[in-house]
Amino acid sequence: MEERSCLRCKGEGTVFHAGFTYEGKVYPDENKVCPCCKGNKVFWEPDYQAIKKAIISSKGVSKGKLKSSWAGTKHYGDQGMARAYYVWRLARFHGGADPKMPMTADLVLRADPFKPELDRMADEVAKESFGTDMAAAFRWGKAFGII
């Protein structure tokens, strides 16, 4: 499995915070554990099968289809679930099922160096699930001067 350095700490595992003074209190310089990789320094290649399993419904009338909602908040602390949430949310956005901008998806992914691969996976899932990965571009293109 491939590994890549964290984009936030550049593989150091820590992030430097410059000290400052505020209202007479001195806050010294400090190095803190990187909040993105949690000090691991690297990200491992995504488990694409596990992501697919996490975003596809396994019960009821929607069995075998992309989930229509995301339950829970596990994606905020678990790297694998963050990646699955990112792919799920972008697939729904690009497929036109959820036209709101996917801001949270980027926030939970943080400094993951495998984002380009996850973007491609989201596009593929959108095409499989909705027949297109361009619905968001058609909707938002004018706002961004693309169309």
- Please tell me whether residues 61 and 110 are part of one structural domain: yes
Q: Is the pLDDT of residue 102 over 70?
A: yes
Span 2-54, pLDDT tens digits: 999 999 999 999 999 999 999 999 999 999 999 999 999 999 999 999 999 99
User: Which two three-digit tokens encode residue 65?
Assistant: 């289809």
Terminal-to-terminal C-alpha distance of the chain: 40
- Please tell me whether residues 34 and 52 are part of one structural domain: no
- Please tell me whether residues 1 and 71 are part of one structural domain: no
Residues contacting residue 30 through CB under 8 Å, at least 6 positions apart: 16, 17, 19
- Please tell me whether residues 65 and 134 are part of one structural domain: yes
- Please tell me whether residues 74 and 143 are part of one structural domain: yes
Q: What is the mean pLDDT of residues 105-134?
A: 95
- Please tell me whether residues 34 and 55 are part of one structural domain: no
Give CA–CA dist 72/15, Å, rounded.
Answer: 29
Strand runs (DSSP E) across the chain, as ranges? 3-5, 14-17, 20-22, 25-27, 30-33, 42-44
- Please tell me whether residues 141 and 83 are part of one structural domain: yes
Residue range of the domain that includes 52? 46-147
How many CB atoms lie under 10 A from the CB of residue 113?
A: 19
- Please tell me whether residues 80 and 11 are part of one structural domain: no
Q: Is the pLDDT of residue 147 over 70?
A: no
User: Which two three-digit tokens encode residue 132?
Assistant: 């297109």
- Please tell me whether residues 112 and 135 are part of one structural domain: yes
**Structural domain tally of the chain?**
2
Q: What is the mean pLDDT of residues 75-89?
A: 93
- Please tell me whether residues 27 and 77 are part of one structural domain: no
Query: Using only C-alpha atoms, what is the Rg of the chain?
Result: 18
How sure is the predictor about 61, in pLDDT bands with cuts at 50, 70 and 90? confident
- Please tell me whether residues 146 and 110 are part of one structural domain: yes
- Please tell me whether residues 38 and 68 are part of one structural domain: no
